[in-house]
Amino acid sequence: MITRIDFTDEPIEAGQERILRAWTDAEPLVVAIECFREPPTPARMRPCAECGSFHVTSGEAVTVAASLTAFEGRAGYLLVRVTDARRDYREFRLDVSTTEGGENMQGGLYA
């Protein structure tokens, strides 16, 4: 069971990063990060370098970053999911402020 997560789902700006730490009594933990742009990218586009799934131990730091390239001129959000070996999970949605005059989307905890 996931016992603690140090992370905030407050909006983030493109190019910024934030540290996530989670603790569980059922290791390993998997931290999955996905980015979504508005309007959505074509289906055949590859994910940005900041996205992916990371296997970590309890308390290990994971950097969650909003890709400057992915969000340049486009609104969007990051979806961050933390799952342990017992399949207990938490999801967070972080709205991303765009660069070059894009609009900021509203949001909060995605559960």
The answer to whether the beta carbons of residues 106 and 93 sit under 8 Å apart is no
What sign does the CA torsion over 61, 4, 55, 11 have?
negative
State the pLDDT at residue 109. Answer: 31
Closest CA to 31 of 16, 9, 52, 58: 52
For residue 106, being part of any structural domain is answered with no
pLDDT given at position 75: 83
Which CATH number belongs to the domain containing residue 35 in this structure? 2.60.40.10
The residue type of 52 is G
Q: What does each of the 111 residues of the chain score in pLDDT, given as a tens digit? A: 999 999 999 999 999 999 999 999 999 999 999 998 887 766 655 667 889 999 999 999 999 999 988 888 888 999 999 999 999 999 999 999 875 544 443 333 322
> What is the domain extent for residue 13?
2-97
Res 72: pLDDT: 83
- The count of domains in the chain is 1
Query: Hey, is 13 helix, strand or coil?
Result: strand
Strands 62-65, 2-6: pairing kind: unpaired
At 102 the pLDDT is: 43
